[in-house]
């Protein structure tokens, strides 16, 4: 059997959004599952809307997601060039084939593709004008996801604009032929276009590829499919917010596909092993950022320490200039690491880290007045504070266990509970009532900082 060749063919006319990412992902998965080839092709025939900047968004997003391409810009391949703007000669050659077959005609300066069949005029309600319909035979699409779909293409359509540039339907088909694409996996929004493509394949005497139209991703609130302007639509936003690409990829896999059992969080290698076209759903899926956040957290919690710190470091580095960013940047590398690892099991995302850890890096952190009121209303916090200051002067700060033992001992001697010390100590050293365990807090902050903050707070 011929080797599977799939392609992802984005147009650099907008941002790279979640729907495009999933289309790319499903193509990539299918290529990896079958041992086939994943081609990246840039559909930049619309000169009005293209820009180099958008091209980089595509490359960056795919790379970040780990969707490496086997052929395409940057890596080459035997069927290039891989940007449509550089394939004019190929299109001309195939246009000649259509012309020679008598399947084209010129009108209003543009070149139309001629369908086979009887012609008659009819008034089109939607476009409010009379159009020429063709009594064509239906195109049969054997869709790997949807089954047999019939659709009749009944109007000639433009394949070359009056400015001489070929349009999407034509170049898409020509490229799929010349790049030997065996499976076209794309969004369901293209299903209606497929009859045009089938007509072109036939007219060019080329075999029609296998089709697989995947369901669309609907916006989480309101009607319609997700578009680049919707909340949470852009891949670069997840990247910027410190989401883990493996979590996003895992989440995206589950939008329209499942392994056939209850498993959700699974390594990409396992997904590759199990992924197949018949397993893809037929119905559209609504995007749910809460579930994505949950998936991200699950990955975050088990991220190896080195990678977690690396992610945190990168996130801090991109932070807009400010007190926390500056202080963290100046912080000792091992201290930064300890602070981040202490916070890893506590935060729900990398993006929470700066706010969550701010007091580790500066001395002028705010004291939450509401928390202060609550804590100071408890049983003799001033005495507890004084006792803690004494403890901080002499206790062993080297391990959590040592700190815990010291505080417990203190509590026992003064007829108080661990909690009586915990709350006031936390308030004094961090200004809040949330954070890592008090023992971890003491250990990482270190004796000097803890003592200084306790004394200052007591004053």
Partner RNA sequence: GUCCCCAUCGUCUAGCCCGGUCAGGACGCCUCCCUUUCACGGAGAGAACCGGGGUUCGAAUCCCCGUGGGGACGCCA
Residues numbered 133-172 forming contacts with RNA, rule: CB under 7 A: 146-147, 149-152, 155, 157-158, 161-163, 165, 167-169
Binding to RNA by residue 11, rule CB under 7 A? yes
Choose, by CB under 7 A, the member of 419, 446, 448, 456 that binds RNA.
Answer: 419
Alpha helices in 318-368 (DSSP H): 323-330, 333-343, 353-361
CB closer to RNA, 182 vs 195 = 195
Taking CB under 7 A as the rule, does residue 256 contact RNA? yes
Q: Which is nearer to RNA, 142 or 322 (CB)?
A: 142
Show the CA angle centred on residue 346, arms to residues 389 and 392, nearest 5°: 10
- CA 72 vs. chain centroid, Å, equals 21
Site for RNA in 225-254 (CB under 7 A): 225, 254
Beta carbons within 8 Å of 122's beta carbon, 6+ residues apart: 130, 131, 132, 133
Q: Which of residues 345-384 bind RNA (CB under 7 A)?
A: 345-348
Is 228 considered catalytic here?
A: yes
Residues 6+ apart with CB under 8 A from 319: 325, 328, 354
Q: For residue 201, what are the β-bridge partners? A: none
Task: From residue 174, give the alpha-carbon distance in Å to each of 91, 95, 187, 329.
Answer: 7, 9, 19, 52
- Decide: helix, strand or coil at residue 397: coil
Q: Which of residues 16-45 bind RNA (CB under 7 A)?
A: 43, 45
Within residues 42-71, the interface with RNA by CB under 7 A covers: 43, 45-46, 49
Nearer to RNA, 67 or 218 (CB): 218
**Closer residue to RNA in complex, CB, 228/318:** 228
Q: Report how many residues bind RNA under the rule CB under 7 A.
A: 85
C-alpha 144/C-alpha 141 separation (Å) is: 9
Task: Work out which of 55, 191, 362, 389 binds RNA, going by CB under 7 A.
Answer: 191
Rounded to the nearest whole angstrom, what is the least distance from the CB of residue 321 to RNA in the complex? Answer: 28
ω into 144 cis (within 30 of 0):
no
Q: Does 264 bind RNA (CB under 7 A)?
A: yes
Q: Pick from 189, 390, 396, 409: which binds RNA (CB under 7 A)?
A: 189
Contact window for RNA (CB under 7 A) among 64-72, 332-340, 360-368, 433-441: 433-441
Instruction: Give 92-100 contacts, CB < 8 A, sequence gap 24+.
Output: 94/170, 94/174, 94/177, 94/178, 94/204, 95/159, 95/160, 95/166, 95/170, 97/204, 98/159, 98/203, 98/204
Closest contact distance (angstroms) between CB of 195 and RNA is: 8
| Minimum CB distance to RNA, residue 253 (Å) | 9
DSSP H/E element including 17:
none
In the complex with RNA, the residue whose CB is nearer, 118 or 261, is 261
| The one catalytic residue among 228, 330, 382, 393 | 228
Counting contacts by CB under 7 A, is residue 72 touching RNA?
Answer: no
Q: Site for RNA (CB under 7 A): which residue of 188, 237, 368, 380?
A: 188
How far, in whole angstroms, is CA 342 from its chain's centroid?
27
Return the residue of 3, 13, 207, 323 that touches RNA, per CB under 7 A: 13
Angle formed by the axes of helices 418-430 and 438-458, to 10°?
Answer: 70
The token pair that represents 208 in the structure block: 């029609």
The residues that are catalytic are 228
């Amino acid at each position: 059997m011929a080797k599977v060749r799939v392609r992802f063919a984005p147009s650099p006319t907008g941002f790279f959004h979640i729907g495009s990412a999933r289309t790319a992902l499903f193509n990539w998965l299918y290529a990896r599952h079958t041992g086939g080839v994943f081609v990246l092709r840039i559909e930049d025939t619309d000169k009005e809307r293209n820009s180099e900047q958008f091209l980089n968004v595509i490359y960056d997003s795919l790379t970040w997601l780990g969707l490496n391409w086997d052929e395409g810009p940057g890596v080459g391949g035997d069927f290039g060039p891989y940007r449509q703007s550089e394939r004019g000669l190929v299109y001309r050659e195939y246009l000649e084939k259509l012309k020679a077959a008598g399947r084209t005609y010129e009108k209003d300066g543009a070149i139309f593709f001629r369908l086979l069949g009887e012609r008659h005029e009819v008034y089109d309600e939607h476009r409010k004008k009379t159009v020429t319909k063709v009594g064509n035979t239906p195109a049969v699409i054997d869709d790997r996801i949807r089954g047999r779909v019939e659709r009749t293409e009944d109007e000639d359509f433009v394949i070359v604009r009056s400015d001489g540039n070929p349009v999407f339907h034509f170049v898409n088909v020509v490229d799929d032929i010349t790049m030997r694409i065996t499976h076209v996996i794309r969004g369901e929004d293209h299903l209606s276009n497929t009859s045009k493509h089938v007509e072109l394949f036939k007219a060019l005497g080329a075999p029609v590829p296998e089709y697989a139209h995947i369901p669309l991703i609907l916006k989480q609130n309101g009607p319609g499919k997700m578009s680049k302007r919707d909340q949470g639509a852009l891949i670069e936003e997840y990247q910027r917010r410190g989401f883990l690409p493996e979590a996003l990829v895992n989440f995206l896999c589950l939008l329209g596909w499942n392994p056939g059992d209850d498993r959700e969080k699974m390594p990409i290698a396992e997904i590759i092993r199990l992924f197949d076209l018949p397993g893809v759903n037929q119905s559209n899926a609504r995007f749910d950022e809460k579930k994505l956040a949950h998936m991200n957290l699950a990955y975050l919690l088990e991220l190896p320490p080195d990678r977690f710190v690396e992610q945190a470091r990168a996130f801090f580095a991109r932070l807009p200039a400010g007190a926390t960013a500056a202080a963290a940047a100046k912080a000792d590398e091992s201290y930064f690491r300890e602070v981040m690892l202490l916070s890893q099991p506590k935060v729900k995302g990398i993006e929470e880290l700066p706010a969550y850890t701010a007091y580790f890096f500066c001395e002028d952190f705010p004291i939450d007045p509401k928390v202060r009121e609550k804590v100071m209303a408890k049983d003799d916090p001033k005495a507890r504070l004084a006792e803690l200051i004494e403890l901080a002067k002499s206790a062993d700060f080297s391990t959590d266990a040592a700190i815990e033992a010291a505080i417990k001992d203190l509590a026992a001697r003064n007829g108080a509970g661990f909690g009586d010390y915990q709350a006031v100590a936390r308030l004094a050293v961090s200004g809040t009532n949330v954070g890592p365990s008090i023992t971890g807090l003491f250990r990482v902050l270190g004796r000097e900082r803890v003592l200084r903050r306790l004394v200052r707070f007591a004053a």
